[in-house]
Each structure stands twice: as structure tokens, then as C-alpha cells.
């Protein structure tokens, strides 16, 4: 039986890799609830579902803006796709918010399989079947890949598009080699590579529609082609990049704002004017440290060595360098910003390392050393893979809205966080109501009664979400003096992942949310 399995594996390695990658992503889609970061929920799910319900949660649409009118600098393609999906679900009578999110995670998990499959194909072209299989296996089972692969992170969603672009760029190089080998002229060889260059540019343009900063990938491609003195190729690739940008982003903005690229222009303007808008400013080498850890040492060190040692093929290597370089010099540095390029960086670095290692006399004389390194890497990875795959993020915020959803006669919400003065945004998607007050209260010296009574019934806030258990008795008493008697309705606990992060670093807050409702 084992022999037959090995033979089947050798005949269809790509199919087996897909199955291996799909299993943990399926588990994550079902069990890994919540959202990873603020943007992947409130700029995607919250916006799309509010549009379906006839509201505009973020006031992005021009006909809903009353103050600060104009583009807000958000790419509309990705939220728009979710709007269409949720609209279809509503038309089919599928309205359960948790069920729809399982569907969303399943779709994203399936989308992330492209990264594994294309990564294997690129590695096979750059090395051999064995190295490609190992490369694909890492992409399938890196401990964080299933967890992040089912999230609504635009950084992860754009990664398969960059991988597809890289694959077609590689095909364009192969087209020239084949044509020259058949004694064709250089012009005929170049013409045979036009179609792959257009397709490569098209996928890169789609990635820009999802995550604008991926523009530095095609910029690096263009530079590489120019360094190879392929001006015509650079122009063809550039035309492919522009097509989806003009049609999708330009077309949507033309409909919304009466001019193309209005949102893209505002996005660039805002980020240039506010380069540290998130308040997360790190050293220039921050992303190098992330790359040194994200592939799990000691493997990560070998990958970096391989990537730096062999800058080939230049048309794939230089775009990765351009992407990392820009993000390293730009002040605003969040860890997730580097994610779009991580798979391709790994494929290039790992294949270069393995090609060099198997030809190195030093390593051939020490075969057990690399095996030991892989055992350490896979051991660490395996310990993290299972808990991360089933972990939920921001679960307490989701669960709080589930509790509120079941309460009768809710007029509005007070999000009370006078302990740490940083009230989180409630994910209204799980409540299903968009037209109610949801006021943060972070300073006990402020008049809570006045905040509550600024709205008349039935839209007067009568539910309080106490964020954190710090000084809860005093905070509850203060709220009751302003709102009258409050009745305990439930408590939303953080998931395993957030509790673990709090245990590792108490600065990561353990956000227990306690829900009370007015009895008056």
C-alpha cells in the first residue's frame, strides 16, 4: 500500500499538495472565527453588509456623505465583491451572519490554494521535482498559512495574484528560450513571449486593485525588463498592468465620483501626507527580521541566504527586492504589510538554497546536519500549526454582538472602556443593525447621562458593553447612576489565541466584555 501511495504521489504531486493544503484550511474556515485585524473586518465585511442592508457603515459612498465629502481613499473592488456575495446570499434567503462568514472563509481558503499550487510550479521550473515538492509542502503547512489564508486580509488575498504574475513572467522567459532553441530570430522569440507578459501584467494589475502597495512588484518587473534591454517587453507588461486598473478601479470611480482613479489618488495623497498614520513606526530592518522569523529558523536563515546569494531570475527577484525595499524605507510598518510577497520570497530563496546545497561538497559531507535543521523547523511548525489553525481572533467582540443580537428591545449601545480609554469598534455585522447609536465612553469624568439622553427612544442606548474587567464594580456603579438599574446579560471571553498573546505579553490586553442591559 505504501509503495502504491508513493507511486501515486509521484504521478500527481500537485494534486496531493492541494489536498494536503486544503485540509487545514478547511478546518480553519470552520473553527477559526472572528477577524485578525481592524481592517480585514471593518473595511470589508462591515462595509459590504451595510450596503446590502441599505446603509453605508463607513460613509464611503458620495450620496451618503454629509460632511467631509469626497473620496476616502479606499479601493472598492474587494469590498464590492463581498457586496455581490452578500447580496446573492440575501437573495437566496441565507442571512445567518456566522454561516455567511464560514462561506467567506471557505472561499478565501480555496483562493489561498493558488499560492501553494503556483509556488510548486515555479519551484519545479527553477529546480527539480523533489525540491519543488518540499517547497510546496512548506507553503501548504506553514503554521500561520491556514489561519491567515481564510482571513479577509487584502495582503493575503493579493498574494496569489502576485504568484500568478510571477508564473507567467517565468513562462515569458521560457518562451524565448524555446524559440531561440528552435533557431527562430530574436524578434520571433520576443513575439512568442508577448502573451505571457500581458497575462503577467494583468494579474499584477488585479493585485493593485486589491492592495495598492503591490504596485512596487510590477515596478520591479519593469525595471528588470529595462535592465535586460527589453523595452518592448516592459511596455507590453505595463499595458497588461493597466488593463484591470483602468477597467475596474477607474470604472468604479468614474461611476461613483465622475472621474477615474479618484479613490486611488486620495489614497496616495493621504499616505504621503501621513506616512505614520497608524502610529507604528519601526526601524528600516524590521521586515528583514520578520522574514528571518516567519519561515521558522533555521530554515528561514537558509531561505534568506539563498535569496541573497542568487538574484535570478532577475525578472522575479528584483520585484521582490523592490517591494521589500519600499516597505522598509516607508515609516508605517505593520507586520502584515509584507505578506503579499512572502510566498514568492520563500520560493526564490528556498530553491536557490537547495540548488546550492545539493552541489556543495561541504553540505554533502554532512547530510545529517540539514536533516537535523529540518527536524527542528518542522517540530516547531507542527507545535504551532494545530492551535493556530483552530484559533479565533477578536472572538470576544464577535461573541458580544451575538449576545446583543438575542436581547429584546435594544435601543443602542454604550461601549464603556473607562479603564484603558480605548473602546473597540463593535462588529455590527454580527448584530445585524446599522441604524442605532453605538457610542464609546472612555472618560468617567464625562457626562454619561447626557450621552445616553441625546437620543430619544426607541434609539436611546440601553445596553452597556464593559470592555475589560478592570475596576468593573466601580464602572458598573457609575453607569447605573446615569442609566438606572442594569441587569447582567452575558460575558464574552477572548479566544485561545488572544489569551495566549496576553500571557506572552500582558501589554496585549485580555478583552473580556461584560454585557448589561437597562431594566427601565
Mapped onto helix, strand or coil, the DSSP state of residue 453 is: helix
> Structural domain of residue 488, as residue ranges?
395-518
SS (H, E, C) 193-262: CHHHHHHHHHHHHHHHHHCHHHHHHHHHHHHHHHHCCCHHHHHHHHHHHHHHHHHHHHHHHHHHHCCCCH
How far apart, in Å, are the Cα atoms of 158 and each of 114, 152, 161, 205, 293? 11, 11, 5, 10, 22
Number of domains present in the structure of the chain: 2
Torsion sign (Cα): 139, 339, 172, 318: negative
Minimal CA–CA distance to 514: which of 481, 483, 486, 482? 486
Is the pLDDT reported for residue 239 higher than 90?
yes
Angle at the Cα of 467 from the Cα atoms of 461 and 470, rounded to 5 degrees: 130
Per-residue model confidence (pLDDT) at position 173: 84
Q: Are residues 345 and 427 in the same domain?
A: no
Of the listed ranges 79-88, 214-223, 375-384, 505-514, the least confidently predicted one is 505-514
Minimal CA–CA distance to 119: which of 339, 351, 323? 351
CA 513 from centroid of its chain's CA atoms: 26
Q: Please give the average per-residue pLDDT across 153-163, as a whole number.
A: 97
Asked if residue 474 is part of any domain, the answer here is yes
How far apart, in Å, are the Cα atoms of 87 and each of 52, 83, 93, 161, 202? 6, 6, 10, 25, 27
Per-residue model confidence (pLDDT) at position 145: 95
> Side-chain half-sphere of 335: how many Cα atoms within 13 Å?
9
DSSP H/E element including 458: none
Q: Are residues 404 and 364 in the same domain?
A: no
Asked if residue 153 is part of any domain, the answer here is yes
Q: Are residues 191 and 262 in the same domain?
A: yes
Angle at the Cα of 67 from the Cα atoms of 63 and 72, rounded to 5 degrees: 70
Is the pLDDT reported for residue 180 higher than 50?
no
Q: Are residues 186 and 258 in the same domain?
A: yes
Is the pLDDT reported for residue 77 higher than 80?
yes
Per-residue model confidence (pLDDT) at position 105: 98
Q: Please give the average per-residue pLDDT across 315-336, as a whole number.
A: 90
Mapped onto helix, strand or coil, the DSSP state of residue 413 is: strand
Asked if residue 7 is part of any domain, the answer here is no
Per-residue model confidence (pLDDT) at position 507: 65
Structure letter (DSSP) for residue 39: H
**Distance between CA atoms of residues 316 and 204, nearest Å:** 12
Per-residue model confidence (pLDDT) at position 7: 62
Per-residue model confidence (pLDDT) at position 270: 85
Q: Are residues 135 and 257 in the same domain?
A: yes
How far apart, in Å, are the Cα atoms of 330 and each of 13, 180, 272, 276? 40, 42, 10, 9
Could you tell me if 25 and 146 are in contact, meaning their C-beta atoms sit under 8 angstroms apart? yes
Per-residue model confidence (pLDDT) at position 177: 46
Q: Are residues 325 and 464 in the same domain?
A: no
Q: Please give the average per-residue pLDDT across 72-82, as a whole number.
A: 93
Minimal CA–CA distance to 315: which of 212, 165, 117, 194? 165
- Which pairing describes strands 486-492 and 438-441: parallel, antiparallel, or unpaired? unpaired
Q: Domain boundary residue among 389, 409, 434?
A: 389
Per-residue model confidence (pLDDT) at position 281: 61
Name the residue with higher pLDDT: 294 or 10.
294
Asked if residue 6 is part of any domain, the answer here is no
**Distance between CA atoms of residues 500 and 502, nearest Å:** 5
Structure letter (DSSP) for residue 127: S
CB atoms inside a 10 Å sphere around CB 336: 17
Per-residue model confidence (pLDDT) at position 278: 58
Per-residue model confidence (pLDDT) at position 43: 94
Asked if residue 264 is part of any domain, the answer here is yes
**Distance between CA atoms of residues 266 and 357, nearest Å:** 48
CB atoms inside a 10 Å sphere around CB 378: 16
Per-residue model confidence (pLDDT) at position 314: 94
**Distance between CA atoms of residues 376 and 176, nearest Å:** 41
Percent of the chain whose predicted confidence (pLDDT) is above 70:
92
Q: Domain boundary residue among 343, 372, 389?
A: 389
Per-residue model confidence (pLDDT) at position 182: 44
Q: Are residues 385 and 414 in the same domain?
A: no
- Which pairing describes strands 438-441 and 463-467: parallel, antiparallel, or unpaired? unpaired
pLDDT digits (tens, 9 = 90+) for 365-376: 888 999 999 999
Is the pLDDT reported for residue 184 higher than 50?
no
> Side-chain half-sphere of 354: how many Cα atoms within 13 Å?
21
DSSP H/E element including 347: helix 342-357
Torsion angle of alpha carbons 82, 22, 120, 306, nearest 10°? 90
The residues pairing with 490 across neighbouring beta strands, listed in sequence order, are: 515
Structure letter (DSSP) for residue 333: -
Q: Exposure string (b/e) for 36-60, b if CB count within 10 Å is 16 or more?
A: bbebbbbbbbbbbbbbbbebbbebb
Angle at the Cα of 112 from the Cα atoms of 195 and 332, rounded to 5 degrees: 90
Is the pLDDT reported for residue 232 higher than 50?
yes
Could you tell me if 428 and 438 are in contact, meaning their C-beta atoms sit under 8 angstroms apart? yes
What are 511's three cell numbers?
Answer: 478583552
Q: Are residues 319 and 225 in the same domain?
A: yes
Per-residue model confidence (pLDDT) at position 179: 41
Q: Domain boundary residue among 338, 370, 389?
A: 389
Is the pLDDT reported for residue 178 higher than 70?
no
Q: Are residues 332 and 470 in the same domain?
A: no
**Distance between CA atoms of residues 160 and 112, nearest Å:** 7
pLDDT digits (tens, 9 = 90+) for 258-283: 999 999 999 888 888 776 665 566 67
Could you tell me if 442 and 421 are in contact, meaning their C-beta atoms sit under 8 angstroms apart? yes
pLDDT digits (tens, 9 = 90+) for 443-461: 998 999 999 999 888 889 9
Per-residue model confidence (pLDDT) at position 63: 87
The average confidence (pLDDT) of the chain is 90
Minimal CA–CA distance to 163: which of 129, 211, 121? 121
Looking up cell 493558488 gives 114
Could you tell me if 430 and 104 are in contact, meaning their C-beta atoms sit under 8 angstroms apart? no
Structure letter (DSSP) for residue 434: -
Q: Are residues 278 and 152 in the same domain?
A: yes
Asked if residue 1 is part of any domain, the answer here is no
Q: Are residues 416 and 455 in the same domain?
A: yes
CA 490 from centroid of its chain's CA atoms: 31
Per-residue model confidence (pLDDT) at position 9: 59
Per-residue model confidence (pLDDT) at position 64: 85
Q: Are residues 333 and 362 in the same domain?
A: yes
Amino acid at each position: 500500500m505504501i509503495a502504491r501511495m508513493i507511486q501515486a504521489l509521484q504521478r500527481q504531486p500537485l494534486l496531493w499538495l492541494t489536498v494536503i493544503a486544503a485540509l487545514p484550511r478547511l478546518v480553519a474556515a470552520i473553527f477559526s472565527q472572528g477577524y485578525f485585524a481592524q481592517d480585514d473586518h471593518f473595511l470589508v465585511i462591515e462595509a459590504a453588509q451595510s450596503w446590502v442592508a441599505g446603509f453605508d457603515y463607513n460613509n464611503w459612498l458620495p450620496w451618503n456623505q454629509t460632511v467631509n465629502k469626497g473620496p476616502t481613499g479606499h479601493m472598492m473592488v474587494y469590498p464590492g465583491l463581498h457586496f455581490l456575495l452578500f447580496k446573492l446570499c440575501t437573495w437566496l434567503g441565507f442571512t445567518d451572519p456566522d454561516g455567511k462568514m464560514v462561506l467567506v472563509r471557505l472561499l478565501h481558503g480555496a483562493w489561498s490554494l493558488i499560492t501553494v499550487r503556483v509556488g510548486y510550479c515555479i519551484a519545479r521550473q527553477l529546480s527539480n521535482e523533489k525540491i519543488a515538492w518540499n517547497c510546496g509542502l512548506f507553503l501548504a503547512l506553514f503554521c500561520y498559512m491556514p489561519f491567515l489564508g481564510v482571513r479577509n486580509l487584502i495582503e493575503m488575498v493579493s498574494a496569489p495574484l502576485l504568484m500568478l504574475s510571477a508564473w507567467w513572467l517565468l513562462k515569458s522567459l521560457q518562451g524565448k528560450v524555446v524559440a531561440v532553441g528552435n533557431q527562430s530570430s530574436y524578434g520571433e522569440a520576443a513575439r512568442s513571449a508577448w502573451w505571457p507578459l500581458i497575462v503577467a501584467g494583468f494579474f499584477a494589475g488585479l493585485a493593485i486593485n486589491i492592495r495598492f502597495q503591490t504596485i512596487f512588484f510590477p515596478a520591479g518587473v519593469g525595471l528588470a525588463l529595462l535592465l535586460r534591454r527589453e523595452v518592448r517587453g516592459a511596455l507590453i507588461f505595463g499595458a497588461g498592468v493597466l488593463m484591470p486598473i483602468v477597467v475596474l478601479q477607474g470604472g468604479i470611480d468614474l461611476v461613483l465620483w465622475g472621474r477615474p482613479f479618484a479613490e486611488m489618488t486620495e489614497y496616495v495623497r493621504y499616505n504621503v501626507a501621513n506616512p505614520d498614520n497608524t502610529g507604528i513606526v519601526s526601524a528600516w530592518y524590521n521586515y528583514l527580521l520578520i522574514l528571518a522569523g516567519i519561515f521558522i529558523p533555521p530554515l528561514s536563515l537558509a531561505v534568506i541566504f539563498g535569496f541573497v546569494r542568487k538574484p535570478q531570475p532577475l525578472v522575479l527577484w528584483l520585484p521582490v527586492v523592490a517591494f521589500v525595499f519600499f516597505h522598509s524605507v516607508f515609516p508605517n510598518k505593520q507586520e502584515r504589510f509584507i505578506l503579499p510577497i512572502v510566498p514568492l520570497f520563500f520560493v526564490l530563496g528556498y530553491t536557490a538554497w537547495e540548488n546550492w546545497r545539493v552541489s556543495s561538497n561541504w553540505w554533502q559531507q554532512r547530510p545529517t546536519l540539514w536533516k537535523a535543521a529540518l527536524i527542528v523547523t518542522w517540530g516547531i511548525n507542527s507545535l504551532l500549526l494545530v492551535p493556530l489553525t483552530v484559533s479565533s481572533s477578536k472572538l470576544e467582540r464577535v461573541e458580544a454582538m451575538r449576545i446583543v443580537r438575542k436581547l429584546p428591545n435594544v435601543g443602542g449601545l454604550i461601549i464603556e472602556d473607562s479603564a484603558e480609554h480605548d473602546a473597540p469598534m463593535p462588529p455590527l455585522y454580527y448584530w445585524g443593525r446599522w441604524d442605532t447609536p453605538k457610542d464609546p465612553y472612555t472618560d468617567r469624568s464625562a457626562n454619561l447621562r447626557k450621552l445616553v439622553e441625546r437620543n430619544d427612544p426607541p434609539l436611546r442606548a440601553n445596553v452597556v458593553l464593559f470592555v475589560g474587567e478592570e475596576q468593573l464594580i466601580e464602572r458598573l456603579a457609575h453607569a447605573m447612576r446615569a442609566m438606572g438599574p442594569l441587569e447582567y446579560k452575558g460575558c464574552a471571553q477572548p479566544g485561545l489565541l488572544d489569551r495566549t498573546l496576553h500571557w506572552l505579553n500582558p501589554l496585549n490586553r485580555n478583552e473580556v466584555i461584560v454585557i448589561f442591559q437597562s431594566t427601565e
